[in-house]
Amino acid sequence: MLQSNSRSLKKVRELLRLYQGGAVFTAFDTETTGLSANNDRLLEIGAVQFSKKGVLDTFNQLINPCCPLSPAAMAVNNITPQMVKDCPSEAQVLPGFLHFIGDSVLLAHNANFDLKFVNTALVRSGYQSLQNKTGDTVHLAKAAFPELPNHKLQTLAHHFGIHPGNAHRAQDDARVCMEVFLRCLQQV
């Protein structure tokens, strides 16, 4: 059961209402060349679009960041320069991502990080920042499962028996994010 005084309780109930009402959600994740949205670039965007009817569609695209990849980033996501050298740039990928998400409700695990990177890339490419409703599964999971030692995506996947696939790859992390979200809704 959700912690009763949690600020996230209201958000969970709002998202549950939208979900039960048939709203379309898009769980998404990014992989990046580093931790600074202003200095680093998108390397991969993965997304799973779903509603109460189930998975509707998926989006996954490696991105040529047009800059060197740091050893630290490669150690986390296992994306190499060879994998992205012939891939489209951020500016080429973003229109397809915008079309994919439409006006769906966005979900991400540690959403501020992913939204900051996507919004910075959008502005850099001449677009406006995202205006979609958003939910953060870190906050939702903290409210729904306060007893867990931490609320990292892989910890939650292990706790729920969700197969993580390739952890720290955008498509698999987006799928796990969706599944964590659905588990959080069951706690309302």
Give the pLDDT score at 5: 44
Q: Pick the closest to residue 46 from 188, 173, 178, 134 (CA basis).
A: 173
Q: Distance from CA of residue 98 to its chain's centroid?
A: 14
Q: How many CB atoms lie within 10 A of CB 87?
A: 16
pLDDT in tens, 36-94: 999 999 999 999 999 999 999 999 999 999 999 989 999 999 999 999 999 999 999 99
Give the pLDDT score at 13: 87
The whole model's pTM is what?
0.94
Contact 116, 37 (CB under 8 A): yes
* Separation of alpha carbons 67 and 89, rounded Å: 11
Q: Residue 74 carries which DSSP code?
A: H
Give the pLDDT score at 3: 52
Alpha carbon separation from 90 to 4, 111, 139, 186 (Å, rounded):
42, 19, 28, 36
Q: Pick the closest to residue 136 from 11, 22, 20 (CA basis).
A: 11
Report whether pLDDT(122) > 70. Answer: yes
> Which amino acid is residue 108, in one-letter code?
A
Q: Which residues are catalytic?
A: 168
Q: Pick the closest to residue 57 from 79, 36, 28 (CA basis).
A: 28
Q: What is the mean pLDDT of residues 162-179?
A: 94
Give the pLDDT score at 49: 98
Q: What is the mean pLDDT of residues 158-183?
A: 95
Give the pLDDT score at 11: 83
Q: How many CB atoms lie within 10 A of CB 164?
A: 16
Contact 47, 58 (CB under 8 A): yes
Give the pLDDT score at 171: 96
Give the pLDDT score at 22: 97
* Separation of alpha carbons 1 and 100, rounded Å: 34
CA-angle at 163, arms to 162 and 169, nearest 5°: 115
